[in-house]
Chain A
Amino acid sequence: MNAVAPMTNTASLAVETPILEMRGISQIFPGVKALDQVSISLYPGQVTALIGENGAGKSTLVKILTGIYRPSEGEILLDGQPVQFSSAQAAIDAGVTAIHQETVLFDELTVGENIFLGHAPRTRFGTIDWRTINARSRDLLRQLESEIDPTIRLKDLSIAQRHLVAIARALSVEARIVIMDEPTAALSRKEIDDLFRIVEGLKRQGKAILFISHKFDELYEIAENFAVFRDGKAVGHGSLKETPQAEIVRLMVGRDVHDVFPKITVEIGDTVLSVEGYSHPTEFRDISFELKRGEILGVYGLIGAGRSELCQSLFGITRPSAGRLTLDGKPVEIRSPRDAIAAGVVYVPEERGRHGLALPMPIYQNMSLPSLAKTSRSGFLKASNELKLARQYAERLDLRAAALSVPVGTLSGGNQQKVVIGKWLATQPKVIILDEPTKGIDIGSKAAVHAFISELASQGLSIIMVSSELPEVLGMSDRIMVMREGLMAGFYDRSAATAEALVRAATGNA
C-alpha cells in the first residue's frame, strides 16, 4: 500500500467534488418504473451506504452503474464530465467495478486466472503471461492482507477466501469506484472485520465505495454517507453518523401501510396445519407454528433467511431432518410433492418460469398437470375434462388467452402467473403457500393479486405468504413470522406488527 500517499490528497478534497454523480436517473421497464428520478453522489475516500427493501431499486442502480442497463432518463457525471456507460466494458474502462452478492468466479480455474480472466496480460508473442498474472495476483492479494497462492484452484478455497479473490479481481482493473453488493452476507464476524480493514484500505487509496447491506450495525461501522431508496425513489440521503437508525428505518418503510390493502376480515377457524420443530440440516432449524382456517400467515425475512427453503420442505421438495406436521388434527408425513398435493398442501413458487410452468405445453395441460388423477378416466387422460377444469379456473382468474390450447410460453407474465395459481387452485388445496406472490409484477396487477389472496382466505383457505415487501406483509397478514438466518426471530399479531419491529427482528438489530 505504498502507492497510497499521493492519493490521500484527493481524499481530503473529497467533500466538495464527487468522483461520480448520478442525476435524475429513471429506469422504466414496461409497466414498472424501477427507478424514478434518483440522484446519488459518490465521494473519493468515502463509503456510501445504499439502503432499501428488496425491490426498492438498489440492484437496478448497480446495473446502471456497471453498464448492464442504460437508464431511460438522467445523466451520469464522472469527475464532472457527463459519460455514458453503453456497455459493461465502458463502465470498467471508466473505473467502476462491482463485487456481487453471489460472486461470479470459476471453480476449476486457478486464483490467478480468475483474477485476470478477460484481461490477462500477454507476452511479446501474444500468449498469456503467466508469470505476470501470478506475480500481480500475489501483489493484489497481499494488498488485501492475504497470502493465497495464485496458482491453486478456486474450488480449494473457503467462501471468505473466494470473496477476497473476487475483491482482488475487482481491484485488478484500475478501479476508482467500487460497488459492494451485500458483501458480508456469507461471512463470519471475523471475516467481516477483515473485509472492513480492506475497505478502510480502499478508502485510504481514495476510492469511492458504494456499499449495499441490510445490516445496520455494519453500515454504521463502515459508511460515512447513506442514501435510502423506496419503491424506486431516493427518499433520503446524508451523513450516516448524524442520522439515527430509527430515522433510516422510517425512511425505508415510509408510509402507513395498513389501509391500502384489500384485506377482508375473515372469521378465523380451527387449526388446519401445525408445524412442530421443523428442521433442515443446513437451511433452517426448529420452526414451529400453527396455521388456522382462513388465516394468512406472513413470513418475512431477508433473502437467505431460509423462508423459501422452509416452504419447499413443507411441500416435500426437500425432506426435513426433524419435526412433525399435523394436518386437520392428524399427523402427516410429506415426503414428496405428490404427498403434499394429496394432503392438500400446495406451493406456488417464486420463479414461475423456472419452477411453475412447462412453457412449450398448452395452457390447459399446465393447469391440469397436478390434477391429472381427477381429470383422467380409468387411467387415461381425458382432454375434455382437462379443458373443463382449465376453463373453470381461467374464468375465475380472468385469464386472457387466445385459446386454452396455446402454449403457455406465448402468454404475458401476468397471465402466466394466473396459470400457475389456477393450476394449484384446481387441486382444491387446504393450505396454499405463496412464495413472493407479487415479485416482478406492476403495481396495478399487485392490487389484483392481493384482492385475490384475500378472497381465497375468505373462502376458508389457509395461506402462508412469503414476502420480502414490508407493506405487503403488514397489509395482508393476520400474523407474521419473521425468520433470520434459518431461525424464527419473532411472531407478531397483525395489531402489534410494525415495520420497525419486523425490520429489527429480520436484521437482528436490537
Chain B
Amino acid sequence: MTKLLKSRELLLSGIILLMIAGFATRADGFAEPGNLVNIFNDTSILIILALAQMTVILTKSIDLSVAANLAFTGMAVAMTNAAYPDLPLLVLIVMALGIGALLGAINGFLVWILQIPPIVVTLGTLTIYRGMAFVLSGGGWVNAHQMTPTFLNVPRTVVLGLPILSWVAILVVLGMIFLLTRSSFGRSAYAAGGNPVAAIYAGIDIGRTRFFAFVLSGAMAGLCSYLWVSRYAVAYVDIAAGFELDSVAACVIGGISIAGGIGSVIGAVLGSLFLGVIKNALPVIGISPFAQMAISGIVIILAVVFNARAEAKKGRIILRDRATAEVTA
C-alpha cells in the first residue's frame, strides 16, 4: 500500500503537470517560472492550513474551525498592529501563534475531556470564533493604510528568488514531515487514526494526541492569519470564509483518508497545489468568475470520486478474500 500511495502521489504530480501544460496552451506564459512561483506563493497559505488539517484528520477527527480561527486571530493581530504600530513584528507573530493555539486548544479540550465528536465541536466553534471576530471589530475593517509597512511587506520580501511567504510554507512542510515521521506525536497520530483501540492497547493516550493535533492546527491557523492579512492588506470579519473546506478538500485530493490513519505530507501539499493551479488558471483562460466556483467544486468532487474509487478497490479485494474464505465451495 505504501507503493500504491507513492504511485498515487506520482500520479497526482503528473496530473498537476498535465494541467499546467494544458492551461499553458490556452494562456501564454502560464507555465513560465515566474508564474509558477506566483501560483506556489498564492497556494502557500492553503498548504500550511491543509497540513494542519491533515494532522487532525490523521487522528480520525476534523477541524472545521480553522478559517474562523484565522479570521478572529487575523483581526486581533491587525487591530493590535494598527493600535500599537511600534510593536515589533515578531511579537505580533508570536501573538498570532498563541491566540490560534489557544482557540485550537479549546477545540481539543472539548474533544478530549468532554468527548464531543470533533465535527460537532468545530462546527460550533466555527460560528463562535467568527462571531468573536465580529464582536472584536464591531464589524469594522482594518485597512492597508492602518497597518505598518513592515507588517505588510515582510511576507512579500523576495529572498533567493522566492517571497518569504513561500519560504514559510516550505519550512512548515519540512517541519511537518519531521513531526509526523520522526516524533512520537506523529506516530501516535497515525496509530490513533489507524486503529484507535489498538493504539489504546499500546499505551497511547488518544485523547491527548487529538488535543495536540487541534492545538497544532490552531497555531497554524494563527500563523496563516498574519500571512493572510498582510497578503491581502485588509482584515474584516469574513476573510477566509469557507476556507476550511478548501483545506479539507486539499487533504482528500492528496489521498489523506478521511477515516484517519492514512496520508502523507507530500500528498497534502500536492492536493493544495492541485487546487491552487485550478484557481489560478480559471481566470487566466477567461472563464467567467461566476462559473469559477462551480468549476472548482466539480473538480474537487471528481478528485474525491477518483480517490474513493482507489480506496474502494482495496476494500473490494479484502471483501472478496473474506467471501472466498467464508463460502469456499
Please give the residue numbers on chain A whose beta carbons come within 8 Å of chain B beta carbons, in ascending order: 28-30, 69-70, 72, 315, 317, 336-338, 340-342, 347, 349, 354-362, 365, 369-370, 372, 376, 379-381, 405-407, 409-410, 423
Name the interface size band of chain B.
20 to 34
| CB-defined contacts of B198 to chain A, threshold 8 Å | 354-358, 369
| CB-defined contacts of A369 to chain B, threshold 8 Å | 187, 191, 198-199, 202, 204
Question: Is B296 part of the binding interface, using a Cβ–Cβ cutoff of 8 Å?
Answer: no
Taking A29-B325, A69-B326 as given, write out 14 further A-B residue pairs in contact, using a Cβ cutoff of 8 Å, ordered by the A residue number. A30-B325, A354-B195, A355-B197, A358-B194, A358-B195, A360-B257, A362-B2, A365-B187, A365-B191, A370-B203, A381-B184, A381-B187, A406-B1, A409-B1
Docked-complex contact B328 and A359, CB < 8 angstroms: no
A152 CB → nearest B CB, Å: 28
| CB-defined contacts of B328 to chain A, threshold 8 Å | 28-30, 72
| CB-defined contacts of A72 to chain B, threshold 8 Å | 328-329
CB-based nearest A residue for B259: A360
Number of A-B contacts (CB under 8 A): 93
| CB-defined contacts of B186 to chain A, threshold 8 Å | 381
Question: Is B114 part of the binding interface, using a Cβ–Cβ cutoff of 8 Å?
Answer: no
| CB-defined contacts of A359 to chain B, threshold 8 Å | 194-195
Docked-complex contact B184 and A376, CB < 8 angstroms: yes
Docked-complex contact B203 and A379, CB < 8 angstroms: no
- Docked Cα-Cα span, A456 to B2, in Å, equals 34
| CB-defined contacts of A341 to chain B, threshold 8 Å | 202-203
CB-based nearest A residue for B318: A409
Docked-complex contact A356 and B261, CB < 8 angstroms: no
A474 CB → nearest B CB, Å: 29
**A-B CB contact pairs (8 Å), 17 listed:** A30-B324, A69-B327, A337-B203, A341-B202, A354-B195, A354-B198, A358-B199, A360-B190, A361-B190, A361-B261, A362-B2, A370-B202, A370-B203, A372-B187, A379-B183, A381-B183, A423-B202
- Docked Cα-Cα span, A28 to B327, in Å, equals 8
- Docked Cα-Cα span, A406 to B202, in Å, equals 20
Among B202, B204, B327, residue most surrounded by chain A Cβ atoms (within 10 Å) = B202
| CB-defined contacts of B257 to chain A, threshold 8 Å | 360
Docked-complex contact A380 and B1, CB < 8 angstroms: no
B2-37 interface (Cβ within 8 A of A): 2
- Docked Cα-Cα span, A338 to B329, in Å, equals 46
Please give the residue numbers on chain B whose beta carbons come within 8 Å of chain A beta carbons, in ascending order: 1-2, 181-184, 186-187, 190-191, 194-195, 197-205, 257, 261-262, 324-329
- Docked Cα-Cα span, A406 to B195, in Å, equals 17
CB-based nearest B residue for A405: B2
- Docked Cα-Cα span, A204 to B44, in Å, equals 77
Docked-complex contact A360 and B184, CB < 8 angstroms: no
| CB-defined contacts of B326 to chain A, threshold 8 Å | 29, 69
- Docked Cα-Cα span, A271 to B327, in Å, equals 48
Docked-complex contact B205 and A347, CB < 8 angstroms: no
| CB-defined contacts of A381 to chain B, threshold 8 Å | 181-184, 186-187
Docked-complex contact A361 and B191, CB < 8 angstroms: yes
A137 CB → nearest B CB, Å: 34
| CB-defined contacts of A365 to chain B, threshold 8 Å | 187, 190-191
Docked-complex contact B327 and A358, CB < 8 angstroms: no
